[in-house]
């Protein structure tokens, strides 16, 4: 079940976040908030969605400066990727499990590296293979994840 972006914006405003903007149509919200832990901001947003919408979505908060530093680190620079490969960042709820060995590859999808709370992947789109990429990520890191293209992360950092 998805929510419309204006509804999500209203939820964040009701939770007391300021300068709330929606970005694209995939649940990206940009806002200002008083200094607080990321976990408490996530809980506050999820509680507001539950209250306003009657259901909630997992929320992954990252400060814009953090996203910009991640982009500036150029996480895909050392990799030999096909020009048509989509570069993807997966945000995790929990740290990368210690038993995960990278890279993980399957059907043109590669999970190539990770830091404590993000995983960096690439895939070459292939309509014949369907959502192999997302299944590979969920099998490796669980369902408590959200995935964005690097282009979307750049837009979020700059918003």
Ordered by start, the domain boundaries in the chain are: 5-61, 65-158
pLDDT digits (tens, 9 = 90+) for 83-120: 888 899 999 988 888 888 888 888 778 898 998 899 99
**Dihedral over Cα of 73, 39, 59, 118: its sign:** positive
pTM of this structure: 0.88
pLDDT digits over 138-151, tens only?
Answer: 888 888 899 999 99
Determine the 3-state secondary structure of 141 from DSSP: helix
Question: How many beta carbons lie within 10 A of that of residue 41, not counting itself?
Answer: 19
pLDDT digits (tens, 9 = 90+) for 43-93: 999 999 999 999 998 999 999 999 999 999 999 988 888 888 889 999 998
Contact, 49 vs 56, CB < 8 A?
Answer: yes
pLDDT-derived band at 4 (thresholds 50, 70, 90) equals confident
DSSP letter, residue 111: E
Residues 6 or more apart whose CB falls under 8 angstroms from that of 130 comprise: none
Pairing state between β 86-92 and 18-23: unpaired
pLDDT digits (tens, 9 = 90+) for 15-30: 999 999 998 887 899 9
% of the chain at pLDDT higher than 70: 97
CB 73 within 8 A of CB 36: no
Per-residue pLDDT, 65:
94
Residue 142, CB-side half-sphere exposure with 13 Å CA sphere:
9
DSSP 42-95: HHHHHHHHHHHHSS--------HHHHHHHHHT-TTTTS---TTPEEEEEEESSP
Backbone φ and ψ of 130, nearest 5°: 65, -150
Separation CA 24–CA 21 (nearest Å): 10
């Amino acid at each position: 079940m998805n929510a419309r972006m204006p509804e999500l914006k209203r939820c964040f405003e009701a939770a007391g976040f300021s300068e709330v903007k929606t970005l694209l149509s995939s649940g990206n919200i940009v806002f200002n908030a008083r200094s607080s832990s990321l976990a408490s901001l996530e809980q506050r947003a999820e509680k507001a969605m539950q209250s306003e919408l009657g259901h909630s979505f997992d929320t992954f908060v990252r400060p814009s400066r953090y996203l910009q530093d991640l982009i500036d680190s150029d996480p895909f620079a050392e990799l030999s990727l096909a020009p048509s490969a989509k570069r993807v960042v997966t945000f995790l709820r929990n740290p990368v499990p210690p038993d995960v060995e990278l890279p993980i590859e399957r059907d043109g999808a590669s999970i190539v590296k990770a830091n404590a709370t993000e995983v960096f992947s690439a895939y070459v789109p292939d309509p014949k293979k369907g959502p192999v990429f997302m299944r590979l990520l969920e099998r490796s890191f669980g369902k408590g994840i959200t995935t964005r293209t690097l282009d979307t992360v750049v837009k979020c950092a700059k918003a």
